[in-house]
Amino acid sequence: MSAAPTSAKAVALRVELDINGVAADVRADLATTLLTVLRDELHLTAAKRGCNQGVCGACTVEVDGVPMRSCLSLAHGCVERPVRTLEGLLETPRMQALQRAFAASGAFQCGFCTPGMLVAAHALLAADPNPDEAAVRRALSGNLCRCTGYARIVAAVRDAATALGAASGGTA
Ligand code: FES
Ligand code: FES
């Protein structure tokens, strides 16, 4: 009698990911999202589970330097692609400037959208150090905020760009 075939369910799948510069060996089946790995396995809770269906942007993280909705990204699809969450970006000069500007401008109220906004803005300023208002609004158009009306968020991102430009002698 031949041995029963190994069922896919019987295999405990794991995957190794680069999360904030650290190799993380995590449990994830083929349908496990990056957001689930981040929040439920690694307890990195800055990325928020808002809609969990790709609409609100609260779960935004950087993958390969590009903002991505982690609720729509499969963990196995992120192999050999650096993942950076807000926790891993906090100390960059860009994120420090953004945090200062958000605080100074009152660019958040409940704060639920703020981590995703900051990650999206961080990627924007990496690509465009001096975005105009339209560029900021475009970059953040996938990040919903129920509280602020967006004007202060947009102003804060532009203030951060100005501060970074001044800090680098206007060459940023
Ligand atoms: S939780 Fe991912 S887009 Fe809303
Ligand atoms: S500050 Fe509340 S959702 Fe944006």
Residues flanking ligand 1, CB < 6 Å: 49-52, 54-59, 69, 71
pLDDT at 169: 77
59, 69 contact by CB (below 8 A) = yes
- Name the region of 66 (left: φ>0; alpha: ψ -120 to 50; beta: rest): beta
Centre of ligand 2 to C-alpha 12, Å, is: 38
CATH 3.10.20.30 domain extents, the chain: 14-88
pLDDT at 172: 43
pLDDT at 11: 61
| Nearest Cα residue to 164 out of 116, 103, 93, 106 | 93
**Residue 5, both tokens:** 């075939």
pLDDT at 168: 86
Q: Which of 55, 145, 153 to mutate to test the pocket of ligand 2 (most atoms within 8 A of CB)?
A: 145
CATH 1.10.150.120 domain extents, the chain: 90-167
Of the CATH numbers 3.10.20.30, 3.40.50.720, 3.40.50.150, 1.10.3720.10, which one belongs to the domain with range 14-88?
3.10.20.30
pLDDT at 147: 96
Ligand 1 atom closest to Cα of residue 52? 1
**Residue 87, both tokens:** 């926790």
Query: Average pLDDT by consecutive 10-residue portion of the chain (172 residues)?
Result: 47 90 97 98 98 98 97 98 98 98 97 98 98 98 97 98 89 44
